[in-house]
Amino acid sequence: MKVKKCPVCKSKNITTYMGAQFGKYLCKKCGYVGALILEEDDKRNKKRKQEVLSM
C-alpha cells in the first residue's frame, strides 16, 4: 500500500482538495494545496516484501 505525504512538511495528513474535482490535494498540517504529492511504500509492506524475497 502506498502512503501519501505532503511534499512540503512530509505529513501523512493529506486529503483531496475540493472533493478531488481538480486533482489536487490539501495538507491539513501546513496548508499546502497542489497536484504534487509524495507516495512511498508503507514500512510494514517493505518489511513483508523483504521477508518474502529472502525465503
Contact 27, 6 (CB under 8 A): yes
The x, y and z cell numbers of residue 19, run together, are 472533493
43 Cβ contact list (under 8 Å, min separation 6)? none
pLDDT in single tens digits along all 55 residues of the chain: 789 999 999 999 999 998 777 889 999 999 999 999 999 887 766 666 666 667 6
Which pLDDT score, from 0 to 100, does residue 42 have?
A: 77
Residue 26 DSSP SS3 = strand
Which pLDDT score, from 0 to 100, does residue 38 have?
A: 94
Which pLDDT score, from 0 to 100, does residue 23 have?
A: 86
Which pLDDT score, from 0 to 100, does residue 29 have?
A: 97
Amino acid at 13: N
The whole-model pTM stands at 0.70
